[in-house]
Structure formats: C-alpha cells, structure tokens
C-alpha cells in the first residue's frame, strides 16, 4: 500500500472511533477528510470528490441513509456503511439504496482495511471498464467470456446452466459490491416470487460446487447470510462470516 493517495471521506460523529480510524487510515497512506454530520458531509462530498466514503448511519442531524441517497443521486463513488445496526433488514436497506459494502461495529481494523482495498481495486477494475478486451472479465483465476457465455477457472471450462451463468455474470458486473438477494433475483428472473430466495440459494450451491469451492470458503463469491452475495475481487483475505 505504498503511494496510495486515495481520498477517503469518513462520516462519523463518535470522536473516539473517528480518531482511531483516521489515524489508522493515514498510517496506511490514505488521505482522510471527515464530517460529523450529514449536512457537513454533503458539503465535503461535493467540494472534495472523495474516492471512497465510509459512512456511519447513526448521525446527529439526519439518518446516514439520507447521505447515502444524496450521493447516489448522481455518483457511483463507493460507500462502505459502518454501523452499530446489526440486523439484516438495515443491511439490506443500505445495500439496496446503493451502499457497496457493510461493516458492523464492533469490527476489526484489518477487516475494514481489507474491505477498503477490495472496493478500491474493484472500482479501479470498473473504471478500466472491468473487462478484458473482447468482452471478457477476470478475477483471480476465473475468466468469463460474455460473448460466448462461458466461464473458465484456471483455463478449464466450467459447465453452467443458463441460470447459473446469469447469476455469475450479474455478480461479475457488480464485482466487489454486496448484492442483496432481491437485487440478484430481479436481475436474473426479473420478478420475485415466493420461492425465489430458495431458488437462488440452490443455484448458488451448484455454482460453488462446480467452481470447486469448499463449504465455508469464500474464494470467488462471499455469502452473507440473510443479506446477499458478493463477487470478490483479487484478494482472498475476506472470509465467509
Ligand atoms: Ca454514530
């Protein structure tokens, strides 16, 4: 992590957490600007154009969700939500509103740093259009050929059903982002029905088996129970929880 001058906007009203995390991020070479309220954060976001936002949801003037919506009105800047709220509904709400990832307090600083690195890498990926020439996409040793609708791992073709392929392709288009079950279902089937989450889980289990991923391993795709799935970028240092 030498020479990274990525700018992080840290929105947090708790001064203890703010000091600890700001020091940590600066030690890692990031440039940090911070705000303790939604209103101040909006001003900083507009004037500084940060590369990443780390957002606490419990802020004194407004719900952090409002800031999230403000950013998503016209920007794709990655947002990691940091919150004491641990129930799945809040996570789903934040992710569906456009958060890229979610870290629940208390969290390990290593975990937070890993998430930031992954998001920056994937965002970089996407800025380079995320894809290799000729309609291909690669993370780790997995290659997707969008034109041929084929997936390869370590050069070997993995035979997927149409639905399985559609799920993998969709996750790859949002690589690095935790996608909720309902967002994936909408993207793949177009509409939700009673059995869709189950259907998605069955398909995912098949995909993992075909990819040769052992239970509990998060090599290509991470599952957060009750929330959704994320295709991981190049780093394998985030494990299934
Ligand atoms: Ca707070």
Query: 8 C-alpha vs ligand 1 centroid, how far in Å?
Result: 18
Query: 68 C-alpha vs ligand 1 centroid, how far in Å?
Result: 15
The CATH topology of domain 132-239 is: Arc Repressor Mutant, subunit A (1.10.10)
CB 100 within 8 A of CB 30: no
Distance CA 161, CA 18 (A): 47
Residue 1: pLDDT band with limits 50, 70, 90: very low
Query: pLDDT averaged over the chain?
Result: 86
Domain 7-128 has CATH 3.40.50.2300: yes
At residue 62, the pLDDT reads 93
Query: 145 C-alpha vs ligand 1 centroid, how far in Å?
Result: 44
Query: 20 C-alpha vs ligand 1 centroid, how far in Å?
Result: 14
Residue 239: pLDDT band with limits 50, 70, 90: very low
Query: 56 C-alpha vs ligand 1 centroid, how far in Å?
Result: 6
Q: Which of 216, 194, 207, 195 is nearest to 167 (CA)?
A: 207
Distance CA 125, CA 130 (A): 4
Query: 119 C-alpha vs ligand 1 centroid, how far in Å?
Result: 23
Q: Is the pLDDT of residue 179 over 50?
A: yes
pLDDT digits (tens, 9 = 90+) for 46-104: 999 899 999 999 999 999 999 999 999 888 899 999 877 677 888 888 998 989 998 98
Query: 55 C-alpha vs ligand 1 centroid, how far in Å?
Result: 9
Distance CA 168, CA 146 (A): 11
Counting residues of the chain whose pLDDT is more than 90, the rounded percentage is 52
CB 50 within 8 A of CB 71: no
29-47 average pLDDT score: 94
Query: 127 C-alpha vs ligand 1 centroid, how far in Å?
Result: 32
Query: 17 C-alpha vs ligand 1 centroid, how far in Å?
Result: 9
Domain ranges for the chain, please list them: 7-128, 132-239
């Amino acid at each position: 992590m030498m020479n990274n001058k990525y700018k992080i906007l840290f929105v947090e009203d708790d001064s203890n957490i703010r000091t600890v995390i700001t020091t940590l991020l600066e030690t890692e070479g990031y440039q940090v600007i911070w705000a303790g309220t939604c209103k101040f954060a909006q001003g900083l976001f507009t004037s500084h154009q940060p590369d990443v936002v780390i957002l606490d949801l419990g802020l004194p003037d407004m719900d952090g969700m409002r800031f999230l919506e403000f950013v998503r009105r016209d920007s794709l800047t990655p947002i990691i939500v940091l919150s004491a709220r641990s129930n799945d509904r809040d996570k789903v709400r934040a992710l569906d509103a456009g958060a890229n990832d979610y870290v629940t307090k208390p969290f390990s600083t290593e975990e937070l740093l890993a998430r930031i690195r992954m998001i920056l890498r994937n965002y970089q990926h996407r800025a380079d259009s995320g894809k290799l020439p000729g309609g291909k996409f690669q993370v780790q040793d997995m290659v997707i050929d969008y034109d041929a609708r084929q997936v390869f791992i370590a050069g070997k073709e993995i035979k997927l059903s149409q639905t399985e392929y559609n799920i993998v392709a969709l996750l790859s288009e949002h690589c690095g982002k935790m996608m909720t079950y309902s967002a994936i279902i909408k993207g793949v089937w177009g509409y939700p029905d009673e059995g869709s989450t189950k259907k998605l889980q069955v398909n995912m289990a098949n995909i993992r088996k075909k990819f040769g991923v052992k239970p509990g391993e998060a090599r290509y795709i991470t599952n957060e129970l009750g929330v959704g799935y994320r295709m991981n970028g190049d780093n394998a240092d985030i494990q299934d929880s």
